Amino acid sequence: MNQRYLNPEKFQESITKELNVVSNRVRNLIGDANWGDEGRYKEAVLKNVIRRFLPSNLSIGSGFIVRSRDSSNNISISKQIDIIIYENTIPVLFSEGDLIITTNENVKAIIEVKTKIYNNQFEKILNTTIENAKFMEDFNKFNGVFSFEPETEDLDLQINKIKEVLKILGEDGKYINHISIGPYIFIKYWKKDENMCNNYNSHFGCYGIYKFRNNNESKQLSFSYFISNLLYLLTNKRLNKRLWYLFPIKGGKEQYRFETVFLKE
């Protein structure tokens, strides 16, 4: 019997490469003419990739989350959310094409999508994302920020600026649990009870910043680790027998942890 060997790491890297190739097609046509249109196109590219992996009970769109705060029917609505993943066995309030309006009961994940995150915009982006996440009323759900490109190829410089913003989030930091910035920077929030914060005495947990590129090698895995963590949470962690496929780095990604950022109390 012929034995075949799978290469899940190369497969996962191909997801990152595909996202970059497809997303750059519009830029090759329009250049700098209309960055707004490029941003919407890149949202669509990421949606299409995620949609391939979703189980049939989940759908993906863009739109708003509506919440009733009390019995007097005082209604509040989120800012527009680039990507909403929702349980489609529960009715939405409104649907037209990819646009949906729904309540938090069937929302499973939200994602803010950017072409490029500039360091001077990072705090504003995170604050908007936190504000939208609070409409889900459950910080254990997936709330992510996805940027196709870093601001600079100097990844250490970008990370140093990112960590200064993350530090000041305090307790609100728990609402943003996954960030991908370009193909090499991946950031994950760890709750204190997950034992990934080096026993730091904080009630608010920490962020692990992972850099998949150094002087010896580079692994374009930030995008795929973002999507794999999304799928893992969406399925209530029922994919333990697929960890070799979802998270393919031999020895685990902790060997690529570049920084640990503790949230200030």
Contact indicator for 168, 204 with CB cutoff of 8 Å: no
Least confident of 51-60, 118-127, 225-234: 118-127
Q: What is the pLDDT of residue 22?
A: 83
**Which H or E run contains 47?**
helix 35-53
Least Cα distance to 106 among 115, 95, 121, 122 occurs for 95
225 Cβ contact list (under 8 Å, min separation 6): 12, 180, 186, 210, 247, 253
The angle subtended at Cα 236 by Cα 223 and Cα 163, nearest 5°, is 40
Least confident of 15-29, 96-110, 181-195, 236-250: 15-29
Judged against a pLDDT cut of 80, whether residue 65 lies above it is answered with: yes
Residue 124 tokens, joined: 């504003």
Judged against a pLDDT cut of 90, whether residue 4 lies above it is answered with: no
Least Cα distance to 188 among 127, 236, 229 occurs for 229
Least confident of 2-11, 74-83, 94-103, 106-115: 2-11
Residue 52: half-sphere exposure toward Cβ, Cα within 13 Å: 8
**pLDDT > 90: percent of the chain:** 61
Contact indicator for 147, 181 with CB cutoff of 8 Å: yes
Q: What is the pLDDT of residue 198?
A: 65
> Is-above-0.85 flag for pTM?
yes
Residue for token digits 């990739």?
A: 49
* 85 φ/ψ angles, rounded to the nearest 5 degrees: -110, 130
Among 13-17, 57-61, 65-69, name the most confident range.
Answer: 57-61
Least confident of 37-46, 197-206, 219-228: 197-206
Q: What is the pLDDT of residue 142?
A: 96
Q: What is the pLDDT of residue 202?
A: 62
**Residue 32 banded pLDDT, cuts 50, 70, 90:** low
pLDDT digits over 142-183, tens only? 999 999 999 888 999 999 989 999 988 888 888 999 999 999
Burial class (CB in 10 A: 0-12, 13-18, 19+), 66: middle
| Domain locations in the chain as residue ranges | 8-57+112-262
Q: What is the pLDDT of residue 237?
A: 83
